[in-house]
Structure 1
């Protein structure tokens, strides 16, 4: 029986659908008034950026073949530059011990009204992303998120450290954060049931996506 919400791992060729979703959600959440030219320019920039992260894992929540949630994570290679390094001029290597795996989480969004079971989609997407890190060796996660999302992450029991001052990015006040390995272990242990139920996504083929307007 098909569930209302199903989770999938998105292949690289669907990046345009991912970016379409992210841009739509940003505009809906922040009620920005932008031109079609601005939207197209932002889409091209974000798609080009995502294509550089060839080693990424993209997870999406879908409701009746429409994306209603997304998250992306990858382990940084020496030649890759993280978004927060460009936006905030931060050298992440200087913030970790030599040899520590560095991960970046981005493209995190949940459609307004989709999370009818409280924070279930929210928690599931974060758990799926952090599980990728968990398979490595005590990796440290970096991200940029708006201040409201940061508060929610902390309420979920994830230790998130702000490593810079907020700035306006994609329509919202955005802050760079660091998640130390120990800071997300309690969250993962509390949500093992979510991972048990949803890790089957690795064996599911992504259905055709209906792009919402």
Structure 2
């Protein structure tokens, strides 16, 4: 069990490390065995995708300088295509409404066995990400997650709406979801104390 957790912002030059961690954790959690060449192919695709999100905020949890949790959020620009649009053919502008800020959360992962203290790592990473989405009032957050993660999100008091049929993605059945502004405000208000963690620049 891990207790000495520190939280950092990760610089974009370290996206390769982020993707490596996320892929490994996804396949460990879902017990899916892939060939080395398949893993490398997925890694290259995700790294290329992630590098397009130049405006993202990446938060990581570490223990003894080893990543044990991650999450990424960014506000969509007019030229950016979200994974939820590409993989699920969903028009997020139509769902959010005219003029509503649109955010996307992704690359969420927590090491197996690292988060036994009431989902503290999970909650802290979610608070850090959702706090970014409050910078413009009314922001709607989109994400993709598996059934277990969706259940946990709802148990934490975040209103998450499934907006499409699941597909197999990164080792599990993945569902597109929407978090409306009102759906995550009470969660943030209850967990404001978690924002007191001092954030640094990871590996820089």
Equivalent position SS for 2:202: coil
Structure 2: runs of 5+ lacking an equivalent: none
Normalising by structure 1, report the TM-score.
0.93
For 2:172, the equivalent position in structure 1 comes to 172
Q: Which of 197, 202, 205 is the aligned partner of 2:201?
A: 205
Residues matched between the structures, number: 202
For 1:128, the equivalent position in structure 2 comes to 128
What is the CA deviation profile of residues 37-75 of structure 1, one whole-angstrom value per residue up to 9, with x for unaligned ones? 001000000000000000000000000010000000000
Task: Spell out the pairing of 1:104-143 with structure 2 (5 A cutoff).
Answer: 104-143=104-143
Q: Determine the C-alpha separation between the residues in 1 that align with 2:201 and 2:92.
A: 35
Quick check: 2:11–2:201 contact (8 Å CA) kept in 1?
no
Could you tell me how far 1:116 is from its partner in structure 2? 2.9
Could you tell me how far 1:137 is from its partner in structure 2? 2.1
What is the CA deviation profile of residues 99-140 of structure 1, one whole-angstrom value per residue up to 9, with x for unaligned ones? 110000000000011113120000000000000011112100
Q: Determine the C-alpha separation between the residues in 1 that align with 2:201 and 2:74.
A: 21
For 1:19, the equivalent position in structure 2 comes to 19
Quick check: 2:68–2:111 contact (8 Å CA) kept in 1?
yes
Task: Spell out the pairing of 1:81-92 with structure 2 (5 A cutoff).
Answer: 81-92=81-92
Equivalent position SS for 1:93: helix
Normalising by structure 2, report the TM-score.
0.97
